[in-house]
Structure 1
Amino acid sequence: MTRKAGKQAAKATIHKIRPDIVKLQGWSDFYYIRPLRLLIDAGKARDFLAHDFQGMPVETIIFTHLHYDHVGHAPLFPKAALLASAESIEDFRQDPEGTMLDEVMASNPCFARLQPIGLTRLPALRHLAIIPTPGHSRGSICIRYQDILFTGDTFFRQGCYGRVDLPKSVPESMQQSIATVLSQKANLILPGHDY
């Protein structure tokens, strides 16, 4: 189940969702919230290059979960706070490769900076609601910003949900997590992949 280094990157594009939110679309989708200087997830390594992020100062990255296709560009931001759920960080510290599904990414020293969201007092967090949604991974979260729900790999637009057959998945929790997502009544759902 572990991805090896050296695979080709997907064609990457940048889309403006609205004036304050940019979608960076590659193998997976991740999002930049301009007024908060915040990335939600960090995509798959090599989808984008450092110069693609010019004009997007990043102070904080929040990971919806720690799979390789959601954390890949984190090393490009050595000064950014890296945040994830306490459960994701605990799983990563016990089994880095099994959590990230990538032997190379799991060994990157930048992930020593991971901090639990609940123990962090960053200004950007005042504008967000963090919603635990275990299933795809034990530590999966969704993030609400205004009327938008960022769902990572918990929930996709066509009513699909993330795989629950991976290491650290919690299949018995997915049904409740989907109910939690649907109860949010967000005007816009922005998932981690466009399927």
Structure 2
Amino acid sequence: MSQPVSTKPSSFWSRLPLAFSAFVNTLSDPDYANRLQRMNDAASYPPAPVAAPAPAPAPAPLRVATPDAALQLLSLLQREARLIDFTQENLSAYADADIGAAARVVHEGCGKVLREHFHIEPVREEAEGSRVVLEEGFDASAVRLTGNVVGKAPFRGTLSHRGWRATNVLLPKLAEAHDASVLAPAEVEL
């Protein structure tokens, strides 16, 4: 069991037997002498200053996304494209031709909603398949690196998808009492 190390300076008289023991051990034990020399060298030369690591960037503050806009968009996609009906339907009983015809209706309706309520532009202007260079400081939220990602910028690669960015959103205003969770009201034929 080891003894706790005292942090107060030792007196001359308590150091004298230690010095004598170190003297005798240094003369008689080459390994001890080498260890003592390394300790003495380390104490004689202060360690080289180490650069402090750069502080980690502060995480971006998170904002709470309210579901109303997402629910409103889902409601528009249901109204114009019957998207929820299409995705909730069990398609195993239908022929591929029937599914394809339904998919055309969904595709056209979704396109209509996007054109009417969003201005959408590509993130990158280059044609897909083009060689591109991403310099240091590129916007990692707008460009996702895939494949063998090693090292640091500049990165050279092939544009496999141009990406999409909404430059404007034009959702209709909701009445204060509107329940956005009702995506499509039930229909009762009289």
Query: With structure 2 as the length reference, what TM-score do the two structures score?
Result: 0.19
Bigger Cα Rg: 2
More helix, by proportion: 2
TM-score normalised to structure 1 length: 0.19
Task: Considering Cα pairs closer than 8 Å and 6+ residues apart, tell me whether 1 or 2 has the greater RCO.
Answer: 2
